Amino acid sequence: MLSRHYGCRLSDCCRWGDLRLLILENELLRVTVLLDKGADIVELRYKPRDVDFLWHSPIPLVWGGAQQATAPSPAGPFPDYYEGCWQEVLPNAGRACEWHGAVLGQHGEVWALPWECRILEDSPGMVWVELSVRCRRMPLRLTRSMILRTDTPALFIEEDLRNEGAVELPLMWGHHPAYGEPFLGPSCRIDLPAAEVVVDRNVGAHSRFDPMTRFLWPVGVGRSAETVDISRIAAREMELDEMYYLTNLAAPWYALVNEDQELTCGLAWGGDVFRCVWYWASLGGDRAWPSWGRYYTVALEPMSSWPAILPNAIENGTELRLEAGERLEERLSVVIAETAALVGGVALTGEITY
């Protein structure tokens, strides 16, 4: 049961099948966390409009127990068990790779592990929980605090990453929130500070740009010499499948704005650890496994490093490195607002400027 029926409240005794759920609520937001699968955030709902901003995959969520894929994939289990929504990514991002004997599957390993949960405060004015997990293939311990305050349309996240091993570790770390319908659509735009855009080297025929094309946010010249504004979300009928790295950000924030709904979801972070944004757009264009043309989602992912997979990031000089016993800290804030105004900034304090 929820701890109360007013103000802030939480429950850590709910279930999704056999999986533990954590539910955090205040008067404006409901946030649901799948504790037994990566502490994935599987609901980010703005209650006055009954809008969940996150995308939910057409692949049903099945995890744990006797459920197994019919054949192992070189990518690891992530694509088979990706329910959409919001994952944390550590210590690898992107496709599977190997590093010093450790085989790291797609998007690392913390998304696949059960997390511990400790309630730090449960009052009408604030709910505050601490989640934690240890990696299996690198000696890393990750702690995530999540906070909701009364009458505040913002989720506050504080994180601590520690190297518990005896050697220096290279790694990639970030967040993978994927946004979807009914919020996401052609009436949406992305507001973002100045940045440089690099197209991923592995994009195919359903990308409007050639691999490794570079331009300044948000307008570039596409394959057919047409001008393309990637801040506008394309319709499903365009059948796009694109991947960009947004680098050299002038400030660590973005906002996704639905102009018809007059609704904005903003995300801010510290910027010292998550130094770029991955922009994945699967808008009906991925015609092979696992999408088969069914996905309609955009993920805007604060990440430490680029391009995808750890050896490539090391070659590019963008990996994080943690000495034995060293720690890193990062903060994020998700803010919801009923407006379609041009966003000039999103703050870690939970405020949006226009």
Confidence of residue 24 (pLDDT cuts 50, 70, 90): very high
Q: What is the DSSP letter of 137?
A: S
pLDDT for the residue 66: 55
Q: How is the chain split into domains, by residue range?
A: 9-353
Question: Which amino acid is present at 135?
Answer: C
pLDDT for the residue 153: 98
Partner residues linked to 284 by β-bridges: 240
List pLDDT tens digits, range 94-113: 999 999 999 999 999 999 99
Mean predicted lDDT score pLDDT of the chain: 95
Q: Give the whole-angstrom CA distance, residue 121 versus residue 37.
A: 23
Confidence of residue 117 (pLDDT cuts 50, 70, 90): very high
pLDDT cut 70: percent of the chain above it? 98
pTM: 0.96
pLDDT cut 90: percent of the chain above it? 90
- Identify the CATH class of 9-353: mainly beta
Q: Give the whole-angstrom CA distance, residue 352 versus residue 153.
A: 11
pLDDT for the residue 28: 98
Q: Give the whole-angstrom CA distance, residue 108 versus residue 104.
A: 5
List pLDDT tens digits, range 154-165: 999 999 999 999
Contact 107, 176 (CB under 8 A): yes
